[in-house]
Structure 1
Amino acid sequence: MKFQPQELPLGSPPFFEDEANRTWVPLYSHACSFGPDIFVDKMMNLIKNPNLNSSWLFRADILYDEAKTKGNTNSIGSSSSVRPIAVDIRGMTLERTLVRRLIPRNERRDKPLEQTCALFTTKPAQDGHDISSTALASGSGSGSESGSRSESPSPSTLVIYMPHSTSADSLPFYHPKVQGIAHLHQWDEAGKGTISIHFLPYPEHPLSDARLQRTAYHLLEIIDKHGHGAAEGYVKRVNHDLVIPQDRFQNRYALLKSKYARQLVDSWAEKTDPSKHVFEDLGIAAFLIELWNDMYPKETTTFPGFVDIGCGNGLLVYLLTQEGYAGWGFDARERKSWAQYRTGGQASPSGSSLEERLLLPAMVSRSGQDQANADANNESSDLSDGVVHDGVFPPGTFIISNHADELTPWTPILAACSRCPFIMIPCCSHNLTGDKFRAPPPQDKTKAKSTYASLVDWVSRIAEDCGWKVETEMLRIPSTRNTCLLGRTRTREVPEADIVALIAKYGGTGGYYENVAKLIKSGPRGH
């Protein structure tokens, strides 16, 4: 059903009555084919994820949650210092009240805002049963993609947002200049429904304002999209925040961004777009810092150091070392940025945080043909001592493989051999010889078959065969290549002989030496 809502003329009679005699003005209405259970589920998801409605917001922190279940009050995480705004709607029953704090992406520009969210229902005329408030209290609408069915369908369900603000002028930019926002769902026994959006205006901010009209249209469009998606069986494919909670990641990211972003963008030395790469690496650094806080509690554990293989422009190494984490990175070619990002590297061979080195794993044998090809191309001399790294790291060193291209499939192998945890963020597809190739599609028929999905599945299987339990996190970074594969737990030990067999299973290393030698003569590979 195409979204073409009916625009309601200003001055249209209200659809519901406020006990405080405030007038809620209807702005748009649209037919819907999803029932009240889906509406409640989607509205609760939007309450907890306001970033789905506004790109200016990170998330919402729930400060208060009180649901009424068959005459009783069930408080979930309620704080005595938080008080919701009282709202009463004539002829409707208050089922659940929440207070959320809207967290903006940039707190230097916008302040957080607390907002009461209230859910009301009406009783069917025929039997007097309410919508299942027990389901509301016990988890329906907690962000899951399928809500619990009502015991009896309700003709009307209303969700109201009331900002905790003393005036329109004190509202942050991301919130429309209104005293309240209401979403109304109406349903009939024939399986047909209507959704509508309503504003409670400030006298000094008329609803004829074009921005308020656009905001109302957008809010209704979002619930229409999510509601019909659920009704048609849409299942969410990507799940974020499985390793690090959203609030911890976003708080760390905001801190790093306020500390470094402007300086890094202004001093960018590469030809690439700083607005992408700076914020991408700030996001990865935020994830790693929070991950390491879990893995290496400062009170009891010493951080073992890190190495960033294929470190590219070196920004991630710079950020992590600036935040007090000892480590270093290397790449086949030095970048312009290294001059400003290079610091002391406590764990590196030369004492520098960024080094020009080629990775030639110790387990790679130089076949006669490889040697002959290298000699014919006068490439042997390029692999002198001090330029090549054998991929053996001190046990426990945390290996970072961030868009490392040719080194990506080697990452879990090197980690297993050196007994080091790792993350890898795959980007471009290369095999174990360093050649570009198309990874085979996933054997699991339920998985996506794209080039990138195939690469992620392929390197995940290498990691699992190396004895790693692979954890997956979809990073909140400005990149479509945002799948992070984490190996920090061993499922079994894999003998060296089995590693050799595993390398053969995944295509072998024939030609690897020659390809590595060529890298020293090629330009930067990009990052």
Structure 2
Amino acid sequence: MKFEPEELAAGASPLIAVSSVDGNHGNHGNHGAVTTTAIKARAGEWRPLFRHECAFGPDAFGHVMENLIQNPNINSSWLFRADILVQNTTTQATPGPPGSAPAPLPAPLPAPSFAGFELTRTIVRRLVPRNTLRDKPLDQTCLIYASASQGQTETQAQSLVVYLPHVSAASEMPFYHPVVRGIAFLHQWDAAQGRGSVSLSYLYFAEGDHERGDSEVTKLTRTALHLLAVVYKHGKGRLAGYEKRVHHDQLISQARVQNTYARLKKKYARELIQSWAESTDPEKHVFEDLCIAAFLLELWDDMHGGGLGPLRFPGFVDIGCGNGLLVHILNREGFQGWGFDARARKSWAAYNAKVKTRDGSEQDTLRELILLPPHVNRDGLAGSALDRVHDGRFPKGTFIISNHADELTPWTPILAALSDCPFLAIPCCSHNLAGERYRAPAPKDKTKADSAYSSLVVWVAGIAADCGWDVEQEMLRIPSTRNTALLGRRRRAAAPPVVGLQAVVDKYGGTAGYLESVMKLMMTSGHEH
């Protein structure tokens, strides 16, 4: 069924009615925004805007609303996430995870009592914007109601979810939230008919706000239409058996990475964008590498037991480092490492630095080198080209980064096993071990997509597994469709010895033609992703 909602007239009868406001939720002085006037206002009239028939029942509606409460970024690209600060049932209050919110936690706003409904759950979430320099976070009470037992029949049921922002005046509302006191989603269901409806109502700041004809009301109406459309779309998907295939934040929590990203963005983004030397889109590359840097910083903190500092860090190398921006950011954060690529980039003039090595000598952080692993025949390579060769051996424990490294991507887990180094590979364009363009075979696991990119990821993960790595996977929150990260930080007890890696290389096609491919790469201009 196409989304074609019924628009309810300004004078339409309310679909929900407040009988009283329950203020017994503890000390409301914590949030400081609720006044007696504001509490009374929440007992005002909720104005319905749109309603749409639906074929999904209360369970699907509840699942959809739970997901939208947890992930407000689905509704607004201005938002990063929601931090769940407090969760109440009728018997217990449970704060969010440690570190997710500063103490003291805000108390829920007083819950309106709606005729025919019982309050079953209360959640306080903090909406975290992408740009904290422009918008402030907003605390919001989310109230979940079910049909009151005395008003419920065997075949008919109602569910209600209400959002109440923690503000006392319209002027306090951030840009990303509708300028209303509350938003209500009502689901009405007739089990005998197998159909129902879902609707959206607003509680305006002032009586008569909905009758104004200005642009703000137009914006509020457009926002209401969007919010209801999202609920309807996700409800239909739930009914059709949709299961989410992409799962983010499997290795590190969303809040940790995004908080670090926000810090890095505030510290570096403007400067890096304004000084961009390449011909590519500066914002895409800067924001993407800041995201990857944030993930790496949090990952390294986990790997090294917390409290990670430059003196304890074993170093990193970025193979196929491209413009060198990621190396530059990580170095500026105090973590020593370097990168190399077959050809220098314009940016290197600004990003390259001199660092002292363990033997006291100085070296560049960005170097023009080609990778020739020990498994590749070097016959025919001579002269100045030998000075630009790196054999892919690194000090034990060095963290290997392979970010859209193309020809070097399938080599990453092999090099990591060769030197006993952890690695992070973010595949992009598909190449085989000989450095040639290659379409990896479709995954045998039919639950995996058979796209070229999915096939590449599964193929590289297979190489890593055969090298003895316990392969972990994360879908990075970066502005790129090539956002799958493969992580190897632990090797299995039965991992093959270094001498057995040649068998892995042979199994995945060998290296015939690698030297020729690399020599061609040295003669062509560098490319960016």
Q: Which amino acid aligns with 1:206?
A: H
2:112 counterpart of 1:109: no
2:304 counterpart of 1:292: no
Q: Counterpart in 2 of 1:307? A: 317
Deviating more after overlay: 15-24 vs 341-350: 341-350
- Equivalent pair of 2:87/2:94 in contact (CA under 8 Å): yes
Q: Counterpart in 2 of 1:337? A: 347
Q: Using the alignment, how far apart are the partners of 2:75 and 2:308 within structure 1?
A: 42
Q: Counterpart in 1 of 2:491? A: 490
Aligned match for 2:95, one of 52, 77, 81: 77
Quote how far apart the aligned CAs of 1:191 are: 1.3
Q: Counterpart in 1 of 2:38? A: none
Residues 1:495 and 1:284: Cα distance change in structure 2 (over 3 Å): same
Q: Using the alignment, how far apart are the partners of 2:416 and 2:383 within structure 1?
A: 28
Q: Counterpart in 1 of 2:85? A: 63
Deviations 1:103-146 (A, max 9, x none): 010111000111111111113668x68xxxxxxxxxxxxxxxxx
Relative to the length of structure 2, the TM-score reads 0.89
Q: Which amino acid aligns with 1:242?
A: Q
Q: Counterpart in 1 of 2:440? A: 439
Q: Using the alignment, how far apart are the partners of 1:504 and 1:59 within structure 2?
A: 45
Q: Which amino acid aligns with 1:183?
A: F
2:414 counterpart of 1:399: no
Aligned match for 1:95, one of 99, 120, 130: 120
Q: Which amino acid aligns with 1:75?
A: A
Quote how far apart the aligned CAs of 1:80 are: 6.6
- Equivalent pair of 2:19/2:115 in contact (CA under 8 Å): yes
Q: Counterpart in 2 of 1:320? A: 330
Quote how far apart the aligned CAs of 1:56 are: 0.5
Deviations 1:436-461 (A, max 9, x none): 11111111121100000000010000
Quote how far apart the aligned CAs of 1:498 are: 1.9
Partner SS for 1:222: helix
Q: Counterpart in 1 of 2:368? A: 356
Relative to the length of structure 1, the TM-score reads 0.90
Q: Which amino acid aligns with 1:166?
A: S
Q: Using the alignment, how far apart are the partners of 2:490 and 2:144 within structure 1?
A: 44
Partner SS for 1:239: coil
Q: Using the alignment, how far apart are the partners of 2:116 and 2:386 within structure 1?
A: 83
2:13 counterpart of 1:13: yes
- Equivalent pair of 1:36/1:154 in contact (CA under 8 Å): no
Quote how far apart the aligned CAs of 1:34 are: 0.8
2:391 counterpart of 1:381: no
Partner SS for 1:63: strand
Q: Counterpart in 1 of 2:34? A: none
Deviations 1:225-250 (A, max 9, x none): 11110110001010000011000010
Residues 1:347 and 1:38: Cα distance change in structure 2 (over 3 Å): farther
- Equivalent pair of 2:402/2:412 in contact (CA under 8 Å): yes
- Equivalent pair of 1:270/1:337 in contact (CA under 8 Å): yes
Task: Give the fraction of aligned pairs with identical amino acids, expressed as a percent.
Answer: 55
Q: Using the alignment, how far apart are the partners of 2:117 and 2:518 within structure 1?
A: 71
- Equivalent pair of 2:343/2:525 in contact (CA under 8 Å): yes
Deviating more after overlay: 207-216 vs 432-441: 207-216
Q: Using the alignment, how far apart are the partners of 1:121 and 1:457 within structure 2?
A: 45
Deviations 1:460-507 (A, max 9, x none): 000000000110000000000000000001013312332111111100
Q: Which amino acid aligns with 2:18?
A: D
4+ residue runs of structure 1 moved beyond 3 angstroms?
A: 78-81, 123-126, 204-208, 297-301, 345-350, 379-382
Deviations 1:206-240 (A, max 9, x none): 36511001000000001001111011000101000
Aligned match for 2:263, one of 232, 255, 258: 255
2:290 counterpart of 1:282: yes
2:197 counterpart of 1:194: yes
Q: Using the alignment, how far apart are the partners of 1:213 and 1:299 within structure 2?
A: 49
Q: Using the alignment, how far apart are the partners of 1:467 and 1:13 within structure 2?
A: 66
Partner SS for 1:226: helix
Aligned residues: 489
Deviations 1:177-205 (A, max 9, x none): 10100000000122111000000012274
Q: Using the alignment, how far apart are the partners of 1:170 and 1:493 within structure 2?
A: 58
Point out where structure 1 has 5 or more consecutive residues left out of the alignment. 130-151
Partner SS for 1:345: strand
Quote how far apart the aligned CAs of 1:347 are: 4.7
